[in-house]
A and B are shown apart, each in its own frame.
Chain A
Amino acid sequence: MDGEIELRVDGRRRRLRVDTRTTLLDALRDGVGALAPKKGCDHGQCGACTVLLDGRRAITCLALAVAHDGAEVTTAEGLADGERLHPVQEAFLERDALQCGFCTPGQVCSAVGVLDELAAGHPSAVTADLTGPVEATDDEVRERMSGNLCRCGAYVGIVAAVRDGAR
């Protein structure tokens, strides 16, 4: 069975027909041609498909496209303004927080989401004080970025890049 949905992806409005079984990830990649989110596991276990969905980071392989009619999606490609990179992307380059790059678009989206969550004072499992503002310490960043696996082992650089992005 098919359904028709409308998405706003990286600022552009798109109407598309999707199988009701189609994940948001496959709809983005196959339907919209937004190829920045990657399929690393298709089970919500690796984070490579992370985008900002209505402003919050989300794993698109666990979302059904038909359930997100009207959604606003920002991928890693949309975070950059043409050639001008988002500060987090710039920090990833400077810290060499990537190798093969396959998990990187998801890491970058997740990092932008993490910085927003920190700024909004959302606590995590490692936050000691649940009442005050939350600082972007190494431990906070590691904890919050742990939904994004990296097999090349770029975590040390990723933590540094996210902290750079917080400045």
Chain B
Amino acid sequence: MTDLLRPRVLGRSPRRVDGPAKVTGTARYAGDQHVVDPAHLHLVQAEVARGVLTEVEVGAARALDGVLAVLTPDNAPRLASARDAELAALQSHDVAFRGQVVAAVVARTREIAREAAALVRVRIDPRPHDVHLSADRDDLYAPEKVNGGADTDTSRGDLGTGLAHSPFTLDQTYTTAWYNNNPMEPHTTTALWLDGDLVLYDSTQGVHTTRQATAKVLGLDPRRVHVISPHVGGGFGAKGTAHVHAIVAAMAARAVPGTPVKLALTRQQMFSLVGYRTPTVQRVRMGCDADGRLAAVALDAVSQTSRVKEFAEQTARPTRMMYAAPNRRTTHRLAALDVPVPSWMRAPGECPGMFGPEVAVDELAAACGVDPVEFRVRNEPDVDPETGKPFSSRNLVACLREGARRFGWEHRDPTPRAREEAGWLVGTGVAASTYPVSRTPGSVAAIRCTGPGRYLVRIGAADLGTGTWTSLAQVAADALGVDFGDVELRIGDTALPEASVAGGSSGITSWGSTVVAAAEALRERFGDDPAAGDEVRAGMPDNPAAGRYAMHAFGAQFAEVRVHVDTGEVRVARLLGVFAVGRVVNPRLARSQLVGGMTMGLSMALHEHSVVDERFGHVVNHDFAEYHIATNADVPRVEAHWVEEHDPHTNPMGTKGVGEIGIVGTAAAIANAAHHATGVRVRDLPITLDHFL
């Protein structure tokens, strides 16, 4: 794949196509879709972490005027498949985690549903539970594979020998916290049955994946499930796989024939029902010579999973390809706990997995007296160090150099705790970023000529704020050789041809390649001047380069941090990222994605922490008053830039994906800057003021 699409519309910055609807509030999200006389659904959750339901007393709830149905494990219909324990709503009396759905109330109004839910009496015979994550547990196990299908463990050379022969070594443990995705739009499903067909207005990152999952659990022909999701109020992975609320909404709607049922999770419920980022424990070992050249690199990662459904965060994956070193090892181990099911959160694997190693690099660089930018440059591999494959393109060094230049790194005094301004200790830090280029099979696009030089492009893709409405139309315009305004794009509906999920920064690679293939098929079949009504469909073609190259995006993040001398208050004053992400489809929107990722990285570094009360097994700070995400006043100057990068192998557009890399490395850069400011090395996120007192 060497002939990249000739860019005419690609690389330009049209405003968001969906922007006017969003700034006026007329964009219709799942909870805004019009249905006639809906009923409202409210969920009842288990208040113990493990046990057996002995009684769900619904008399008082049912007696309330306006209550239409109460579903419990005693009366809920049997599902066709209960294999996915997360989706097997109300199928068992076993309680596997605190917050599990144990009943659901349907009522005429929101207020009545909520009142009735509070009247449901749930008796649970509690069993001992265990939600304690530690790398010292004796029951850690190795999963078969980790998320994304990567190997659980890898090894090259001999780690012990590599460390033993290194004059400078590091052996430290780093931890990242439990994080909840918390998109601004709570997960919402409006369900209605029409002649045996199920219609779901759902907030989802993939209408077809939601259809597939719900059809299987409910025992329906997927063609009879219709999922509609034109606008999604953020997802960050939490809407990437189907979660239990969609199933309960469908069951509830079946219980009140002819009535559509609306369910919007509360913010509090989102902390146990829609996935989250597992906490991780990362033991990093590195050894290098006096010039900072690494001889050994190892990461042993421990994370948690639920006892009823496995999710294995691929925390050690980036360590496998970041730096050259002849001796290397990575492992993943899991603790199966009585906790809600963890899942994807923006850059699973890379985001937590680049915290420990990138702080470790900073520590080791300081130990051997090499500048941390230079240290990374010196350990740049020629080929993927584990597979031996060439990189399709790798411009980490260019990002580091350009970032250093823009940030003003050159005159930096590496001495920690050497700058104080008006009572604030000031420091700067750097960390690298990376994210793989992924393509997800299964997409089909249809293109129809609707008039002279005008085209309708249909594919069930998703826009969760990523900009698909705009950027995929730009791809289509260049693929068809027409102006941006001559393309009408339709996405977000299972009535459209099948599309893969918006996840793993794979959207434009997967859907874009598919749209390009459809445009080529259209030209081949109908020539340059098709008649109105001429239409083709095409699936995503194979990429012959896929197996031959290691394909990754890279970046370098620089941070300036201020820590108050007396209070230890820590503030980020400046973030600057330079990325190598292939060709940028729409600079205006791509910058938003990168800056947004960095902002979420700042939030992870300083603010976010789901605090678990191990006695009861739940996240106690389960709302925005206590689970702090960065507010406007927390976010200073954040700049994202990119280097020119021509990659002929990733896809016909030459793109690499921009949705996730922005969050990768940010927290490490901030931790490194905090160390430079104060001399205190924080290895456990979040970086709070108590570390500096």
Contacts and interface: CB of A to CB of B under 8 A. Distances in A.
Interface string A10-27: 000000000101100010
Interface string B174-204: 0000000011111000000000000000000
Interface residues of B, number: 61
A105 B234 contact: no
Select the residue from B182, B466, B632, B635 with max chain A CB neighbours within 10 A: B632
Interface string B1-37: 0000000000000011011111111111101100000
Nearest to B233: A102
Interface string B589-621: 101110111111001000000000000000000
Contacts of A46: 184, 267, 624
Given A96-B588, A153-B595, A155-B638, 5 more contacts: A43-B624, A94-B15, A96-B19, A153-B630, A154-B596
A66 to B, nearest CB: 12
A158 B184 contact: no
Interface of A: 19, 21-22, 26, 29-30, 35-43, 45-46, 48, 75-77, 79-80, 83, 85, 89, 92-94, 96, 98-105, 108, 141-143, 145-146, 148-159
A148 B635 CA distance: 13
B25 A75 contact: yes
Given A30-B110, A152-B234, A155-B635, A103 B184 contact: yes
A100 B632 contact: no
Contacts, number: 183
B624 A153 contact: no
B464 A89 contact: no
A146 B111 contact: no
Given A38-B185, A39-B31, A104-B25, A153 B631 contact: no
A21 B32 CA distance: 21
5 contacts: A22-B110, A85-B23, A98-B465, A99-B593, A143-B633
B186 A99 contact: no
B231 interface: yes
Contacts of A103: 184
A104 B624 contact: no
Contacts of B32: 35
A91 B286 CA distance: 49
B590 to A, nearest CB: 10
A102 B184 contact: yes
A56 to B, nearest CB: 18
Contact of B23 (A45, A92, A141, A150): A92
Nearest to B593: A99
Given A77-B26, A155-B632, A40 B15 contact: no
Given A99-B467, A142-B635, A156 B184 contact: no
A96 B589 contact: yes
A22 B233 CA distance: 24
A150 B630 CA distance: 8
Interface of A: prevailing SS: loop
Interface of B: 15-16, 18-29, 31-32, 109-112, 182-186, 231-234, 236, 264, 266-267, 464-467, 588-589, 591-593, 595-600, 603, 623-625, 629-635, 637-638
A159 to B, nearest CB: 7
A22 B40 CA distance: 14
Given A79-B24, A89-B23, A38 B184 contact: yes
A24 to B, nearest CB: 13
A147 to B, nearest CB: 8
Nearest to B188: A39
Given A21-B111, A38-B233, A104 B22 contact: yes
Contacts of B183: 100, 102, 151
Nearest to A153: B599
Contacts of A85: 20, 23-24
Contact of B25 (A36, A43, A145, A153): A36
A43 B15 contact: no
A89 B633 CA distance: 21
Which 6 residue pairs across A and B have the least CB separation, nearest first?
A36-B25, A153-B599, A102-B233, A100-B465, A101-B22, A99-B465
Given A92-B23, A99-B466, A100-B464, A41 B595 contact: no
A146 B630 CA distance: 9
A37 B423 CA distance: 42
A100 B467 CA distance: 8
A40 B186 contact: yes
Most B-side CB within 10 Å, residue of A40, A83, A150, A156: A156
B22 to A, nearest CB: 3
B624 A101 contact: no
A77 B24 contact: yes
Contact of A150 (B24, B184, B186, B597): B184
A146 B182 CA distance: 17
B267 A42 contact: yes
A153 B598 contact: yes
B25 A77 contact: yes
A40 B267 contact: yes
A116 B94 CA distance: 56
Nearest to B27: A101
Contacts of A142: 632-633, 635
Contacts of A96: 15-16, 19, 588-589, 591-592
A103 B28 CA distance: 13
A75 B631 CA distance: 22
Contacts of B591: 96
Contact of B633 (A75, A105, A146): A146
Contact of A102 (B21, B23, B234, B466): B234
A154 B600 CA distance: 10
A8 B637 CA distance: 40
Given A100-B234, A149-B624, A156 B635 contact: yes
A154 B111 contact: no
A145 B24 contact: no
A102 B233 CA distance: 5
Given A35-B28, A76-B24, A96-B592, A151 B111 contact: no
A103 B111 CA distance: 24
Contacts of A101: 18-19, 21-23, 27, 231, 233, 465
Contacts of A26: 110
Nearest to B597: A153
B474 to A, nearest CB: 15
A36 B593 contact: no
A57 to B, nearest CB: 14
Contacts of A157: 592, 595
**Which of A46, A93, A96 has the most chain B CB within a 10 Å cutoff?**
A96
A98 B23 contact: yes
A104 B23 contact: yes
Contact of B111 (A22, A37, A80): A22
A66 B593 CA distance: 41
A43 B625 contact: yes
